[in-house]
Amino acid sequence: MLASMKLIDLVESHAEQIARQWSGDVVKHQRTPFYHDLPRERIIPQAIQFYDNFRRIFTAKNPYEAAGEFFSRYAEARYNEGIPMHEAIYALILMRRHIWLYAEFQAIFITVVEQRQALDTLSRTILMFDYAMYFITKTYQEQMRQEIDRKTGAIRLLQLEGPAGDGKQTEGMKKTIMTILLMAAVGLTYYCHAVLGTGVIFTHLLYIPIVLASVWWKRTGVIVSLFLGAMLMLSNVFFLEEAPFADDLIRACMFVLISAVIALLSEGLTTAKELYAFAEAKRGTE
């Protein structure tokens, strides 16, 4: 116990010195390249914060809970700073290394008895850092999931994703919305071509059902763009005899092209979501 207290007292009383030695290492180490461009005065507080909490974690009755409380916050802060997980972990490994390097430099374990006690101290320190690795990894995964959910929230809303087991109701809603949009597109085309005698501007509104169909039904959704393109050209033939047919032909081609691109992007997103869901399910069974 004496050796443990010596180590704790050393870390606590020389936290800034050890942290500065650590910072000199981490900004040059080949395994922590992200730190290389960071000013030392910015990263030193990371180590000082850990060394200041060393006693509380080391002497806690439940070191697992104490480590979880501190290292979860530590990992969240590193994630928000953009530090890659493997570098955040290795930076912590260097923090542990510098504790022992400083202890050896100060020669605090002198007698044989103290050297034996140092082995127990080392074992408990390693256990603490094992907990640290666990909570850092866990927190980074949680932060990544939250970030993915935030960034894909608008896409999920656009896709009208319903709760599990509610696929039929969601699909029915999509078909109803698309039917209304197509009917509106037909009516708008007739009104602009037959009544107003113009084909300018309104065709941009036709991209709404085209985009939604491509997002909802992927390649099958291209049928909607083909339908709208054909409708536009036929309407041009019947109601806009003096207007150049080539303009609507180009618009129809753009409908199909844009629909195909969005369909491919939507398929890629769906594949990524499926892989993500599979990884989450696998992680949950471990």
**If you average pLDDT over residues 165-188, what whole number do you get?**
84
Handedness of CA 50, 56, 62, 65 (dihedral sign): negative
DSSP code string of 117-159: HHHHHHHHHHHHHHHHHHHHHHHHHHHHHHHHHHHHHHHHHHT
Residues 6+ apart with CB under 8 A from 267: 218, 219
Query: Which residue ranges form the domains of the chain, and what is each CATH number?
Result: 2-158 (1.10.490.70), 167-285 (no CATH)
Q: pLDDT per residue over 197-216, tens digit each?
A: 776 677 888 999 999 999 89
What backbone phi and psi angles, to 5 degrees, belong to 240? -125, 65
User: Is pTM, for the whole model, over 0.95?
Assistant: no
More confident residue, 191 or 169: 191
Average of per-residue pLDDT values in the chain: 82
Confidence check: pLDDT of 226 > 70: yes
Rg (CA), the chain: 31
